[in-house]
Amino acid sequence: MRYTPLSAATYREHRSRFRQAMEKGGLAVFHSNDIMPTSADGTMPFHQAADIFHLSGIDQEETVLLLFPDAFDPKDREILFVRETSPSIAIWEGAKLTQQQATAQSGIATVLWTSSYEATLQRLLPQAKSIYLNSNEHLRQGNEVETREERKNKELRAKYPLYEVKRSAPIMHRIRSRKTAEEIAQIQNAVNITAKAFQRVLQFVKPGVKEYAIEAEITHEFLRNGSRGHAYTPIIASGYNACVLHYITNDDTCKDGDVILMDFGCEYGGYASDLSRSIPVNGKFSPRQRDVYNAVLNVQKEATKLLLPGVFLGDYHKQVGELMEKELIGLGLLDKKEVATQDPEKPLYKKYFMHGTSHFLGIDVHDVGLWHEPITEGMVFTVEPGIYIPEENLGIRIENNIVVTKDGQDDLFKNIPREVEEIEALMAKSRKKTLA
């Protein structure tokens, strides 16, 4: 295995949290993702479904998890189903987990082959009062491809139409948003690798390099440090490209005098990191670039202080908007009088800062969480304000990953440079080495 997994104790705790939220007599089922096709006989790399990974740590296709706390036989209260291996599979794909290995990794004592799932479910359902089915209820989800979980849910509903169905997603959103110490440590591992990639980039960027060459440097550093790769498609956007929020073609040339906005993060052990930094291609910010950069940095620092237990994310984002208004007025981009009379439903700062400031971070980059419940200790967020001025070919975004603590915050990227002077000094140092 390329990465060090979390302990079985952490997965036991995750399942315990889910069971505590279930109603009496409930039986919950979770499925893995499919291996997705490309064309001909090609397939995409397997990517495990986040919820079953969170509850079991099993990173393998054709996996099913069944949780039935009130089952008559204690052996039936947690059952993990994994794909049975064979000599042919071992030769062509590599051996799959044995039942003993699956138990050691997940902490689940009863492990059966996936081929026995249907019969086991049929045997246990007469004891159940309801079935908990899982689904993707992320606020931004819009996937047109049917997942294995959706397909299996349809089959179960059709076969057992008289059972009451309950939703697992709200429970998963609540328990996944509050990280254990081991989860935070795994995110920190991903952050540390991402930090190494940023340090590498500071030594590499100069006028004339291609954006995709910078992406290659980042990817190299990820893989050589045990990451399986990017947690999301990286944005390497120089000059005007930085004003395109989801610019991912990364095929332009970095020009002298431009600022390059980089948004990237590695995945490690199933957990994501998410970093944004904006650096001058030639190693030196112009006075205007410096002013805009520092305005964004001021907002980021003050916004971080607002992430406290008990705060609602909706209120937090309104406060960040007010911080940004002041900075944009100071930059001459907004008029103070116009801001005072603006439509509160259409704030003027949105012209230059049109996206949100923070999102949950964890197994998914845009991790799940509940906006109608207050922030609690152990949640992990990004803080990523930005200012985008297309007419100046300038886009600045600065992003760190923050753990909410009992009394404040822990910045997982606290050792990564973000001050103008730090960035310029590090880039100048790397240029001296090159010349030497």
Alpha-carbon torsion (337, 342, 344, 349), positive or negative: negative
Task: Extract the runs of DSSP E, i.e. beta strands, from 191-331.
Answer: 229-230, 235-238, 259-264, 266-268, 271-272, 275-280
Name the active-site residue from 93, 137, 355, 419: 355
Give the pairing type, strands 400-404 and 409-411. antiparallel
How far is residue 370's CA from residue 126's CA, in Å, rounded to a whole number?
33
Residue 366 a catalytic site member: yes
Among the listed residues 274, 325, 327, 364, the single catalytic one is: 274
Q: Is 332 exposed, middle or buried (0-12, 13-18, 19+ CB in 10 A)?
A: exposed
Which entry of 246, 345, 391, 407 is annotated as an active-site residue?
Answer: 246
- Per annotation, catalytic residue among 14, 148, 397, 418: 397
Please confirm, yes or no, whether 349 is among the known catalytic residues.
no
Residue with tokens 């089922």: 29
Residue 388 appears among annotated catalytic residues? yes
Determine which one of 41, 144, 345, 407 is catalytic.
41
To the query of whether residue 155 is one of the catalytic residues in this protein, the response is no
Asked if 355 is an active-site residue, the reply is yes
Q: How far apart are CA 338 and CA 343, in angstroms?
A: 10
Q: Map residue 41 onto helix, strand or coil.
A: coil
In which order are the strands placed within the sheet that holds 259-264? 235-238, 259-264, 275-280
CA distances from 226 to 61, 96, 320 (A): 21, 21, 36
Locate 251 and state its tokens.
Answer: 């095929």
Catalytic residue among 217, 267, 302, 399: 399
Catalytic residue check, 263 = yes
- Of 78, 221, 252, 263, the active-site residue reads 263
220 noted as active-site residue: no
Tell the residue number behind the tokens 């930094």, with chain if given: 277
To the query of whether residue 138 is one of the catalytic residues in this protein, the response is no
By C-alpha distance, which of 279, 143, 304 is closest to 209? 279
Catalytic residue among 138, 366, 377, 411: 366
Distance in angstroms (rounded) separating the CA atoms of residues 169 and 172: 5
Q: Is residue 364 flagged as an active site residue?
A: no
Nearest CA to 427 among 220, 200, 234? Answer: 200
**How far apart are alpha carbons 17 and 2 in whole angstroms?**
28
Site of tokens 């237990």: 309
SS3 387: strand
274 assigned to active site: yes
Distance of alpha carbon 253 from alpha carbon 212, whole angstroms:
9
Which of 359, 364, 367, 418 is labelled catalytic? 359
Catalytic residue among 268, 271, 316, 388: 388
Q: Choose the catalytic residue: 211, 215, 302, 384.
A: 384
| Chain centroid to CA 31 | 20
Instruction: Say if CB 165 and CB 234 are below 8 A apart.
Output: no
**Which residues does the annotation mark as catalytic?**
41, 246, 263, 274, 355, 359, 366, 384, 388, 397, 399
